[in-house]
């Protein structure tokens, strides 16, 4: 019994040290990066303990669009669906419903997005969706808390729903969290502790 109690205390101490590292992907003022002006690309974000890669894709009308572009300027970020009614560095529906799909090279928790430049007097609507979760609409500038898990290979989507007579809006950034590398071994550690408990209980 003493061994079991010691193991439980040790596991509790280890779990209390679990921390997550935050990564904010700022999208404006990234003109000249490898993905700017391309239909897709990888945004690499280096943290204190690990490197996180966001694979980004320009979507139009629900499909990946090689004719559309991820477009960052000094102050804006949007999808450029080439056409006469498109605002090239905003999210809009002038020449089709623009969207950004993002996946990561490891499991993350999507924490928030920040959007801006909604046109006053118009009901411009955007939405976000994490994996196959519900679409959540937004109609004003600000930071929206999400706090939803996203598995590796699944997509986080930001979508223009309608322009409402406005010019479109900007996706400024999105923030995700990842457990720090020291915590990745806790699952194996837990398995080892379970084995020790079983051994101790047999004596």
DSSP state letters, 48-89: SS-EEEEEEEEEETTEE-TTEEEEE-SS-EEEEE-STT--TT
pLDDT given for residue 3 in this prediction:
52
3-state secondary structure of 123: coil
Give kind and range of the element (H or E) at residue 129.
strand 125-130
pTM exceeds 0.75 = yes
Instruction: Spell out the domain ranges in the chain.
Output: 1-19+182-203, 20-179
Q: In tens digits, what is the pLDDT along the chain, a chain of 203 residues?
A: 555 444 444 444 444 455 899 999 999 999 989 999 999 999 999 998 899 999 999 999 999 999 999 999 999 999 999 899 999 999 999 999 999 999 999 999 999 999 999 987 889 999 999 999 999 999 999 999 999 999 999 999 999 999 998 999 999 999 999 987 554 444 444 454 454 455 555 55
Give, as one character, the DSSP assignment of residue 118: P
Give, as one character, the DSSP assignment of residue 133: S
CATH fold of 20-179: Jelly Rolls (2.60.120)
3-state secondary structure of 102: strand
Q: Which residue has the tokens 């959540």?
A: 136
């Amino acid at each position: 019994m003493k061994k079991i109690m010691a193991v439980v205390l040790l596991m509790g101490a280890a779990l209390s040290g679990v921390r997550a590292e935050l990564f904010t992907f700022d999208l404006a003022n990234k003109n000249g990066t490898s993905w700017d002006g391309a239909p897709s690309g990888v945004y690499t974000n280096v943290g204190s303990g690990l490197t996180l890669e966001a694979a980004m894709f320009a979507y139009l009308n629900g499909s990946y669009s090689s004719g559309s572009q991820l477009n960052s300027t000094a102050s804006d970020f949007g999808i450029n669906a080439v056409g006469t009614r498109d605002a090239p560095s905003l999210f809009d529906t002038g020449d089709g419903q623009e969207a950004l799909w993002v996946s990561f090279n490891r499991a993350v928790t999507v924490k928030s997005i920040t959007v801006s430049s909604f046109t006053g007097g118009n009901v411009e609507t955007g939405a976000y969706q994490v994996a196959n979760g519900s679409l959540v609409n937004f109609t004003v500038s600000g930071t929206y808390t999400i706090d939803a898990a996203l598995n590796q290979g699944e997509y986080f989507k930001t979508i223009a729903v309608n322009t409402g007579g406005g010019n479109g809006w900007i996706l400024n950034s999105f923030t995700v969290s990842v457990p720090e590398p020291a915590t990745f071994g806790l699952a194996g550690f837990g398995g080892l502790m379970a084995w020790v408990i079983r051994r101790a209980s047999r004596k």
